[in-house]
Chains A and B, each alone.
Chain A
């Protein structure tokens, strides 16, 4: 079965601290993984996708097929990073459907 698990509902860190939001997935084929972010009073938007292998707003995520993980990392958190983060999976040739994790709220304290 296809599944995305984000084990933490809430992650609270201080400004300047490293951040790691965990994401594990279950998929039998070769998935495409995404991180979406929802800032307060804004719509959900793409943060990054694994095939792009880029850093957005200082965030990176590496697909680890052995551990079936796609953790989101940032070395130094900023207050403006406070938001809800969703990990999502799309199967190849899957008409673009996404399976979302439960979401993790990141709270960066001053």
Chain B
């Protein structure tokens, strides 16, 4: 039982490049989330999806787009990466209990 799987684990980009972070969960959860983790800032919500076919902005959505491809998958896209987007990105999913289950994270560096 994999839980929440994120790919890639590490990525280095140049400013202006684009990339998509992938996330998949096998727990049949309705809700999925993308966070970024920065030192001294905790985890901040970028986007979330309460159910298949819906997405909503979180606290820090600028510079990002998301796609809820189906119930299992929720991807995060950086269209034109900036150094300020250097961070560790976490995907999570949850069901009605509000307990969130997290992926292992993607460490992204933008040069």
Contact = CB atoms under 8 A, between A and B. Distances in A.
Contacts of A103: 42-43
Contacts of B40: 9, 102
A26 interface: no
B31 interface: yes
Interface string B17-39: 00000000000000101010000
Contacts of A4: 42
B104 A43 contact: yes
Given A95-B31, A95-B50, A97-B58, A46 B41 contact: no
B105 A43 contact: yes
A96 B104 contact: no
Contact of A96 (B42, B94, B102): B94
Nearest to B4: A43
A43 B50 CA distance: 22
Contact of A49 (B50, B99, B103): B99
A98 B42 contact: no
A86 B41 CA distance: 11
Nearest to A41: B104
Given A90-B98, A96-B31, A44 B41 contact: no
A62 interface: no
B90 interface: yes
B48 A44 contact: no
A95 B93 CA distance: 11
Contact of A43 (B41, B58, B99, B103): B103
Interface of A: 4, 6, 9, 32, 34, 43-46, 49, 86, 90, 95-103
Given A44-B92, A97-B45, A101-B42, 5 more contacts: A4-B42, A46-B99, A86-B43, A96-B33, A103-B43
